[in-house]
């Protein structure tokens, strides 16, 4: 009888422990969701200045200095690492990218996209991912909440975020592959909120002498978004949308893209709410192996595919095999509304 009573007591204790863990997990998820929501609203509008450490497996760690305003203007300079010397200025209307090794200053329309801009993307994030509060921590002397944003379904990259308790700015990010391997890490080693440099409007534009000597406008670049059908009218070749997308991803936006062949290519963005895949297509019959869809100053993209009539490239936080599957499905997809509708004769 005593053994039975002991067994019942142990079973009840085990059930109580499971119930406690379940409720604790739900509380951590609710807290993580609230903190993430605050970061994607108020945290996106924090003026700051600081130095970041940028790490990726197999590459030397780099350091970058950033100044950012509350309305999203930004100046970024890479101090060390593979991109040492590269600089970016963004004044909200134009973006300047300085590639010192190639002596190229690429000038384009500002095409800013915050982590989450609208209800659709936020809904997609919560549909595909579960935010969960992990613990408190310190980054650059600032108290932060650590939030895991993990996928509901296996096979997607995920992130761990260190979010300031003071103003909800993201002060560190780690991105992980579906198998848990680290893809990249970015962390502030020092940070100052509301810096004096954030009010200097001229600091977010490239120096005039640099523009005069090395400026190269990107023809056809546009901040406006287009549907696949609208892109056809802009780039003047049969755009092909991939029939395969990694789980959870959907169409986000399309843009004309200044191809290095001198023509306009198509840039298509797909998102799962947290991560973005960019697919570039050029259908102007560039010579094979010309890498025409690579932007000036870029060393490579994650995946490339050349066909007889099209050059394709893609990058994103998914396995390279998934990107190649996307490219192959795009290469054989039916063209979107091409030839274009003829204009009425006058």
Q: What is the structure's pLDDT at 316?
A: 86
The CATH architecture annotation of domain 220-331 reads: 2-Layer Sandwich (3.30)
Q: What is the structure's pLDDT at 9?
A: 57
Q: Find all residues with CB under 8 Å of 198, minimum gap 6, and list them.
A: 47, 48, 49, 67, 68, 69, 70
The model's pTM: 0.78
Q: What is the structure's pLDDT at 15?
A: 56
Q: Which residues of the chain have pLDDT under 70?
A: 1-25, 111-120, 218-224, 260, 285-301, 337-346
Q: What is the structure's pLDDT at 233?
A: 84
Domain ranges of the chain: 42-213, 220-331
First to last CA, the chain: 100
Q: Indicate the fold that domain 42-213 takes in CATH.
A: outer membrane lipoprotein receptor (LolB), chain A (2.50.20)
Q: What is the structure's pLDDT at 110?
A: 72
């Amino acid at each position: 009888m005593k053994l039975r009573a002991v067994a019942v007591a142990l079973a009840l204790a085990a059930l109580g422990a499971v119930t406690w863990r379940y409720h604790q997990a739900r509380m951590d998820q609710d807290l993580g969701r609230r903190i993430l929501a605050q970061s994607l609203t108020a945290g996106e509008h924090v003026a700051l200045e600081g130095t970041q450490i940028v790490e990726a497996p197999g590459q030397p760690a780099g350091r970058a200095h950033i100044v950012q305003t509350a309305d999203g203007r930004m100046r970024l300079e890479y101090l060390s690492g593979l991109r040492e010397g590269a600089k970016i200025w963004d004044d909200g209307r134009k973006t300047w990218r300085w590639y010192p090794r190639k002596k190229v200053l690429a000038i384009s329309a500002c095409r800013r996209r915050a982590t989450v801009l609208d209800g659709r993307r936020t809904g997609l994030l919560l549909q595909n991912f579960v935010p969960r509060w992990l613990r408190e921590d310190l980054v650059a002397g600032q108290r932060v909440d650590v939030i895991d944003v993990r996928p509901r379904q296996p096979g997607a990259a995920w992130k761990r975020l260190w979010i300031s308790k003071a103003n909800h700015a993201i002060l560190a990010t780690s991105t992980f592959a579906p198998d848990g391997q680290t893809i990249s890490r970015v962390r502030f080693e020092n940070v100052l909120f509301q810096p004096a440099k954030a009010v200097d409007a001229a600091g977010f534009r490239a120096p005039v002498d640099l523009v005069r000597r090395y400026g190269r406008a990107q023809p056809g670049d546009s901040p406006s978004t287009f549907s696949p059908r609208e892109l056809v009218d802009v780039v003047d070749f049969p755009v092909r949308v991939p029939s395969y997308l990694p789980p959870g991803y959907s169409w986000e936006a399309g843009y004309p893209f200044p191809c290095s062949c001198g023509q306009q290519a198509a840039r298509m963005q797909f998102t799962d709410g947290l991560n973005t895949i960019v697919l570039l297509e050029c259908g102007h019959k560039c010579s094979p192996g010309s890498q025409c869809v690579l932007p000036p100053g870029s060393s490579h993209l994650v995946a490339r595919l050349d066909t007889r009539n099209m050059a394709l490239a893609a990058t994103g936080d998914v396995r390279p095999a998934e990107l190649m599957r996307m490219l192959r499905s795009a290469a054989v997809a039916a063209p979107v509304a091409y030839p274009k509708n003829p204009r009425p004769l006058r």
